């Protein structure tokens, strides 16, 4: 096969680029670069988590702008970018501004709470910590559903360096009973006698609280705690009973619809055996 000089040159460049790529890839088979040679997170690529200071990360989340999803995502990514992780420089390249859409349950639609959306986005790109990434997400979702939030204890409020004056603006802690922004805010509104429009301080604190929780949970998983074995990671007994008939791969009889969700069923359904 004959080749002119130009074709030959292209071949050589092609080969050397591939070789350079191979050495660059190193630890990850998926790492990629854009046309300027800049690192870019690739589909399926996972970055190395290292334990972080949960309170320092929560404080950063409290001070972060751009809505609840960005507070969680930006604060943890920023801490990892400054950490001893071998992937610190890769964390630095992740554009956290993308997450601003998550506020108000996606552009004020009141659907999935941005804190949980941010946690999902974050955990998805971490190296699967002791194969527990799914359990970590499940645990955080169940925790969010049933815990009085935001945290209001002195240690936490001191940790994020807030003021008593702001505590008045934050209103009361409340339980969302759901992963939805809508129920979280409306239950807070009822408890605090404040409208959605006044949610600012409360939601800043909610994101700081969930950031604290997810960092602590990731640290625990990293140290080897079996998050998947915790009762708190599983749906309630009542929901598991619903799932036993309304399964994901099949149902108890053909009349029953198949269901794939770990949300608490009875928040929205009354059930049908009472």
Query: Among 219, 263, 215, which Cα is nearest to 73's?
Result: 215
> How far, in Å, CA of 192 to CA of 189, rounded?
5
CB of residue 150 vs ligand HEC: minimum separation in angstroms? 22
Is 250 near ligand HEC (CB under 6 A)? no
Is 119 or 242 the residue whose CB approaches ligand HEC more closely? 242
Is 131 near ligand HEC (CB under 6 A)? no
Is 83 or 267 the residue whose CB approaches ligand HEC more closely? 267
CB of residue 226 vs ligand HEC: minimum separation in angstroms? 24
> Which residues have C-beta within 8 Å of that of residue 263, sequence separation ≥ 6?
141, 145, 178, 179, 235, 239
How far does Cα 18 stand from its chain's mean position?
35
**CA quadruple 253, 255, 257, 262: dihedral sign:** negative
Paired tokens of 140: 């955080």
Is 259 near ligand HEC (CB under 6 A)? yes
CA–CA distances in Å: residue 177 to residues 105, 150, 180, 208, 263: 15, 14, 9, 19, 9
Is 248 near ligand HEC (CB under 6 A)? no
> How far, in Å, CA of 202 to CA of 83, rounded?
29
> How far, in Å, CA of 179 to CA of 194, rounded?
21
> How far, in Å, CA of 136 to CA of 116, rounded?
11
CB of residue 239 vs ligand HEC: minimum separation in angstroms? 5
Is 152 near ligand HEC (CB under 6 A)? no
Is 243 near ligand HEC (CB under 6 A)? yes
Angle 93-94-100 from CA coordinates, rounded to 5°: 140
What is the footprint of ligand HEC within residues 159-198 (CB under 6 A)?
A: 178
Is 246 near ligand HEC (CB under 6 A)? yes
Selected from 19, 245, 248, 250, the binder of ligand HEC by CB under 6 A is 245
Considering only the stretches 24-32, 112-120, 130-138, 258-266, report the one whose residues sit in contact with ligand HEC under the rule CB under 6 A: 258-266
Is 219 or 243 the residue whose CB approaches ligand HEC more closely? 243
Is 5 near ligand HEC (CB under 6 A)? no
CB of residue 180 vs ligand HEC: minimum separation in angstroms? 6
Binding site for ligand HEC (CB under 6 A): 178, 238-239, 241-246, 252-253, 255-257, 259, 261, 263-269, 271-272
């Amino acid at each position: 096969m004959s080749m002119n000089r130009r074709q030959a040159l292209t071949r050589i460049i092609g080969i050397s680029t591939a070789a350079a790529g191979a050495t660059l890839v190193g630890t990850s088979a998926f790492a990629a670069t854009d046309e300027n040679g800049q690192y870019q997170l690739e589909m399926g690529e996972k970055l190395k988590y290292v334990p972080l200071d949960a309170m320092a990360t929560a404080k950063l989340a409290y001070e972060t702008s751009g809505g609840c999803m960005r507070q969680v995502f930006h604060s943890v990514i920023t801490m990892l970018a400054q950490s001893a992780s071998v992937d610190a420089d890769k964390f630095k390249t992740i554009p956290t501004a993308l997450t601003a859409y998550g506020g108000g349950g996606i552009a004020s639609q009141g659907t999935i709470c941005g804190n949980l959306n941010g946690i999902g986005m974050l955990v998805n790109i971490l190296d699967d910590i002791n194969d527990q990434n799914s359990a970590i997400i499940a645990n955080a979702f169940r925790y969010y559903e049933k815990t009085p939030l935001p945290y209001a204890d002195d240690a936490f409020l001191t940790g994020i360096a807030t003021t008593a004056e702001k505590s008045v603006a934050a209103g009361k802690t409340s339980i969302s009973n759901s992963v939805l922004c809508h129920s979280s805010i409306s239950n807070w509104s009822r408890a605090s006698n404040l409208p959605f429009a006044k949610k600012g301080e409360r939601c800043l604190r909610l994101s700081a609280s969930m950031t604290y929780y997810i960092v602590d949970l990731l640290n625990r998983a990293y140290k080897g705690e079996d998050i998947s074995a915790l009762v708190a990671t599983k749906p309630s007994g009542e929901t598991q009973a619903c799932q036993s008939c309304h399964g994901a791969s099949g149902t108890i009889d053909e009349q029953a619809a198949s269901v794939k969700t770990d949300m608490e069923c009875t928040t929205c359904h009354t059930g049908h055996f009472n």
